[in-house]
Structure 1
Amino acid sequence: MHVLVLYWHPVGAEMRPAVNTHLHTLDMLPDLEVEYCNAYVELPDEVERAHWDAVVLHTTFLCMRWSDAFTAYALRIAWLAKRECLKIAIPQDEYDHSEILDEWLYSLGVTHVFSNFDEGPRKLLYPILHDRASFSVVLTGYVNQEIVESARAQLLPIAERSVDVVYRAADLPYWFGANGQRKVAIGRLVARGADELGLKTDISSRPEDTIYGDGWTRFLLSSKSVTGCETGSTALDRRGEIQASIRAMLAADSALSFTQVAARLPAGWDDHPLTAIGPRHFEAVATKTCQILVDGHYSGILEAGRHYVGIAADFSNLSDVLERVRDDAPGLQMIADTAYEDIVGSGQYTYARLAEQFATALGTRPAAR
């Protein structure tokens, strides 16, 4: 079977290991001839002329739907609509320009969508495709076996780690809703509370402090705990209109707070719990770093009190949680060990699982475990 995978990544830029592993999941399947084409540059003419049994539209490729250059970008790939083959889309951030995504996939004749959400919000996210395409529920990321193996050789007991709490997150704009603001707030609040207790932290939202590759694994291995919350959004921005409205407000008054902006937007704009477990949660598990997370569903995989120490949504118990980080290394170790056994040890959340879903969609043999 001849499969084309279209992705988008700036030439010469380093790709995060989680993204690279996700992109190359098809390499785990036998009997496939896979060609990866980076749509960051003009696709060679032979890509359009070649015979493909299946075309996979990677999440990085589909992210172009919110680019200012989207119209020209979509025209470059319009030839795909005429191809009679399997077409599999793997979008993420489906709440962002959701109707643009839905229309684009429909116009290209996508036959199968790998969605991060179950059928509950499906019609909301895909008003056209929800009953026209086949859907499979997948995760935003999985246990990366390379990180597991790398970490295993470097693991220290939590009591012997030099940092108490670590965290990295970008300052997300207001149009990601309350959950986006929560990602920003938790770093700030944990840093302040930890400082009051004399804990050692490495917490930043500055772009220049972003950590890539093996450095990220070492970063997690250095710390007793890592904080965070669910990935995703509580805002549904169907065509980018929420973003446009917020940009206009901030252009007129850059000092507006999130609360002030939210009050000026249509009722219910931020009432969509489109959140999930993310790759960084699996990376923390793989390094046996105890997670202190805002309570959430985490795709039904992480359980508060068993796999992570729960922080109330209003942060009312944050002091107690940080005191536990300071005083209860054995308890943190037990949670980290349990998470490792249940998630890494079970083998249920590896990229082989995603490969099996690809195999089903493609009608091929599954990956060997």
Structure 2
Amino acid sequence: MYNVLFLYNASQTYTNTVYEHAASFGNYSNNRYFYLHQDDSSVTNVDSRRFDAIALHYSVRLPYDQVSETTCSLFENFQGLKILYIQDEYDHTYKAWAWIKRLKINLVFTVVPAENIEKIYPAEHFPGVRFISVLTGYVPHDLSGLLGDSRPSERPITIAYRGRPLPSRYGRLGEEKVQIGKMVKAYCLKNGIPCDIEWTEEARIYGPSWYDFMKSCRAMLGSESGSNVFDWDGDLQQKIRKYREENPEHDDQEVCHAVVSAHEEPGLMNQISPRVFEAIVAKTVLVLFEGKYSNVLKPGVHYLSLRKDGSNLPEIIAALNDSELVDSMADRAYKEIISEGNYSYSEFVRKTDLAISDLILQNKISSQRGSVFSSSSIQPSLLTTMPVRALSTVVPPAITFPLFNANLSRIVLDRLVPVWMALPSGIRTPLTPVIKKILRAK
């Protein structure tokens, strides 16, 4: 059993997927995990000699330099195993390269598909670094909130969806998040089919309410996640901005064709979204754009495959009106994807445990033991045995700050989250119900 110091950004754990990923190590690992909040202004004061490994979570965005100088020093001087969990590797890719080298990372858990790792992380640039391909998320730890009483065929809403518009720099996969919503909603409204489909930021749903939403419908729309547009140098956004200034009459599609498409390599990073697992747990049938979905799902077996031109929408709707088909597909997907446990967080953590143990033993990577905290006059960093769950940073329409407009209200609340995280638990605990009541006020 090893001691692992796990660095994460506690202000980012308001979404289920981020929190569950970070918490999975504390829930399932055979090793002992100690969690520590980290951002670019953190003062990290931990005696690293107490730990066999240090892990940096993807909630700390390396491509945007969200690592403090004290944390850099911690990594650079640490003699044990250094682990990185990284996602969104299409953003500032060379910057991520630089951080992996500077922090002297030994083990990288990447969401780049295994067959494409060499394209993104050429071995000649990373001697001695081991890369392991993983999914962006897995089956939720607590299934109780997703398990409903009704059969999917008995639910009143035929199709539901919550997407989000992504900047044009994310290319075709980003466009599809909105495309599928617009196309199916238009068809449903035209044909009187009950639906609840939105793709604006304001309509997004978080926390337990998201699970309730999933259980209210027979089917949930979806598409592959990720981006095949790699912004290697971090200058793509500047190129897009310049093009828009020179061609103000051009829409997003024209911008993509003129600027973004040259950076896009179809099929490089297509991934299955953790939302897919949530829908399967809720026994909500998936209606997904054609794709590979990390080779986890089979069309016609685990989901209904929607052509990207929408030409088979009538057949999709007919299938969703077939109660026997809907219920049997939901049951089959649950049995083969959820019950068998291959995509559970416990299985994910088991594999990470094996990789950590393998590198420590085979490469004789170890660290000296010492006291938990250094003896300096700086206040020791507060460690926890599970990650802190953040409040949502989404500002409801009714919540504004009188001196600021809507956009600044969101910024103000974002700035308050780190302050909240710094408060002792004895203060946060009694205040939490009050703040939640305010944020949910209509």
Note whether the superposition's TM-score is higher than 0.5.
yes
What amino acid does structure 2 have at the position aligned with 1:145?
H
Letter in 2 for 1:315: G
Task: Give, in whole Å, the separation in 2 of the partners of 1:239 and 1:23.
Answer: 29
Preserved CA contact (<8 Å) 2:108 2:129: yes
Match of 1:197 in 2: 191
Contact persistence 1:58–1:90 (CA under 8 A)? yes
| Cα distance change, pair 155–243 in 1 and its aligned pair in 2 (3 A) | farther
The one of 155, 158, 162 equivalent to 1:161 is 155
SS in 2 for 1:46: coil
- In the TM superposition, residue 214 of structure 1 has moved relative to its aligned partner by 1.0
Within 1, Cα distance between the matches of 2:172 and 2:261?
A: 14
Answer whether contact 2:168 2:260 (CA < 8 A) is retained. Answer: no
Matches within 5 A, 1:209-248: 209-248=203-242
Query: Aligned pair 1:329/2:323, yes or no?
Result: yes
Q: Given residue 81 of structure 1, which amino acid in structure 2 is its aligned partner?
A: E
Equivalences, count? 355
Matched AA of 1:340: Y
| 1:53-202 → structure 2 map (5 Å cutoff) | 53-61=52-60, 63-65=61-63, 67=64, 70=65, 73=67, 75-79=69-73, 80-127=75-122, 131-146=127-142, 148-152=143-147, 154-202=148-196
Counterpart position of 1:367: none
Counterpart secondary structure, 1:5: strand
* Regions of 4+ moved over 3 Å: 28-33, 40-45, 48-51, 72-76, 127-132, 251-255
Q: 1:289 to 1:45 in 2, by over 3 A?
A: closer
Report the RMSD for the aligned CA atoms in angstroms. 2.3
Contact 2:113 2:133 in 1 (8 A): yes
* Separation of aligned partners in 1, 2:316 and 2:248: 34
Q: Report the equivalent of 1:17.
A: 16
Contact 2:169 2:256 in 1 (8 A): no
Q: CA deviation at 1:196?
A: 1.4
> Can you list the C-alpha shifts for 1:192-217, whole angstroms capped at 9, x where unaligned?
01111211111112222211111111
* 1:226 partner SS: strand
Map 1:307-346 → 2, pairs under 5 A: 307-325=302-320, 327-346=321-340
The answer to whether the 8 A contact 2:72-2:103 is kept is: yes
Q: Which residue of 1 aligns with 2:4?
A: 3
User: In the aligned structure 1, how far is the partner of 2:13 from the partner of 2:114?
Assistant: 35
Larger mean CA deviation between 220-229 and 84-93 belongs to 84-93
| TM-score for both structures, normalised by structure 2 | 0.75
Question: 1:164-212, CA deviations, whole angstroms, 9 ceiling, x for partnerless residues?
Answer: 1111111001111111001111111111011112111111122222111
SS in 1 for 2:115: coil
Q: Give 3-state SS (helix, strand or coil) of 2:145's partner.
A: helix
**What is the deviation of 1:45?**
4.3
CA contact (8 A) 1:309 1:321 kept: yes
Q: Does residue 253 of structure 2 align to residue 259 of structure 1?
A: yes
Higher relative contact order (CA 8 A, sep 6+): 2
Q: SS in structure 1 opposite 2:314?
A: helix
State whether residues 289 and 305 of structure 2, in contact with CA within 8 Å, keep that contact through their aligned partners in structure 1: yes
Q: Deviations over 1:226-283 (max 9, x none)?
A: 0010111121111222222113323444552233113322764222321111110000
CA deviation vs aligned residue, 1:124-167 (integer Å, no higher than 9, x gap): 21236555311222111111131x23333x23112211211111
| Mapped partners of 2:29, 2:183: distance in 1 | 48
For residues 316-346 of structure 1, give each alpha carbon's deviation from its aligned partner in whole angstroms, at most 9, with x where no partner exists: 2233323433x32321222111111101111
The gaps in structure 2 that reach 5 residues or longer are 359-442
Q: 1:170 to 1:307 in 2, by over 3 A?
A: same
* Rounded Cα–Cα distance in structure 2 between residues aligned with 1:239 and 1:336: 43
Between 166-175 and 239-248, the greater mean CA deviation after superposition? 239-248
Contact (CA 8 Å) 2:43, 2:68: kept in 1 or not? no
**Residue 46 (structure 2) pairs with residue 33 (structure 1):** no
Larger displacement relative to structure 2 (227-236 or 110-119)? 110-119
Tell which structure's C-alpha radius of gyration is larger.
2
Corresponding letter in the other structure for 1:27: G
Q: 1:331 to 1:266 in 2, by over 3 A?
A: closer
| SS of corresponding position for 2:119 | helix
Q: Confirm or deny that 1:249 pairs with 2:243.
A: yes
Rounded Cα–Cα distance in structure 1 between residues aligned with 2:43 and 2:257:
48
Contact 1:292 1:308 in 2 (8 A): yes
CA distance in 2, matches of 1:45, 1:182: 41
Evaluate the alpha carbon distance shift between residue 164 and residue 358 of structure 1 in structure 2; reply closer, same or farther with a 3 A threshold.
same
Between 338-347 and 90-99, the greater mean CA deviation after superposition: 90-99
Distance apart, 1:30 and its partner CA: 5.6
Q: Contact 1:98–1:126 (CA<8 Å) still a contact in 2?
A: no
The farther-off stretch of 294-303 and 22-31 is: 22-31
Partner secondary structure for residue 237 of structure 1: coil
Partner of 2:281: 286
